[in-house]
Amino acid sequence: MPHIGIYAGSFDPPTNGHLWMIRQGAALFDELVVALAVNPQKTPFLSTREREEVLREIVSDIPGRIRVAVVQHGFLVDFAREAGATHLLRGLRNTSDFEYEKTMARMNGRMDSAIQTVLMVPPSELEEISSSLVRGFVGTPGWERWVQACVPPQVAVLIRQR
């Protein structure tokens, strides 16, 4: 049975930390599904289409079977089950992430014990990078330099074009 991992997030915008996790997942699993979660309650910085397209672009040169899928609603574990996934891949940048992910892993395990959660810790140079940090930079004098340091080049171009 192939090991299929799901790496989910809003990716608004995708960061170098997300890219690191995708690379790790591609090496770890037979197939990695990058699940772009859409929250209709939030107003996104980048549209769903922009995020989907730039995610497809940044994963295109990564070895391994990777596909990008948009998740419009429902529980992640239900999407994972439908995708035939065996694992959920999650990143831990700090202790707050750990507490949240521990709770989610236990809840997902109750919903489907066949789907395991894998937690990964990124290198220290990526641990402070988040989508919200990047969004906060945009518009501040000198923002382009800092955004470029936090996101893949394709994402920096997309943000600059906005």
- Name the residue ranges covered by the structural domains of the chain: 4-128
Own/partner pairs, 70-78, CB within 8 angstroms, 24+ separation: 70/35, 70/36, 70/38, 71/8, 71/35, 71/36, 71/37, 71/38, 72/38, 73/38, 73/40, 75/111, 76/6, 76/8, 76/35, 76/37, 76/108, 77/108, 77/111, 77/112, 77/115, 78/111
Strands 4-9 and 31-37: parallel
- Sequence-distant (6+) residues with CB within 8 A of 44 are 10, 12, 51
Question: ∠ CA 94-58-67 to the nearest 5 degrees?
Answer: 90
Catalytic residue numbers read 18, 42, 93, 131
Tell me which DSSP letter residue 125 carries.
G
The pLDDT confidence band at residue 1, using thresholds 50, 70 and 90, is confident
**CATH superfamily placement of domain 4-128:** HUPs (3.40.50.620)
Residue 63 has pLDDT above 90, yes or no: yes
pLDDT, tens digit (0-9, with 9 covering 90-100), for 87-115: 999 999 999 999 999 999 999 999 999 99
SS3 79: helix
Q: How many CB atoms lie within 10 A of CB 59?
A: 20
Q: What is the mean pLDDT of residues 132-155?
A: 96
Three-state DSSP at 142 gives: coil
Of 67, 64, 85, 65, the residue nearest 75 (C-alpha):
85
Question: In this structure, are residues 53 and 71 in contact, taking their beta carbons and an 8 Å threshold?
Answer: no
Query: What is the mean pLDDT of the segment spanning 132-154?
Result: 96
For residues 133-155, give the mean pLDDT.
96
User: Does a cis peptide bond (omega within 30 degrees of 0) precede residue 123?
Assistant: no
Query: Over 90: is that where the pLDDT of 41 sits?
Result: no
Question: Which residues, listed in sequence order, are joined to residue 37 by a DSSP beta bridge?
Answer: 71
pTM for this structure? 0.95
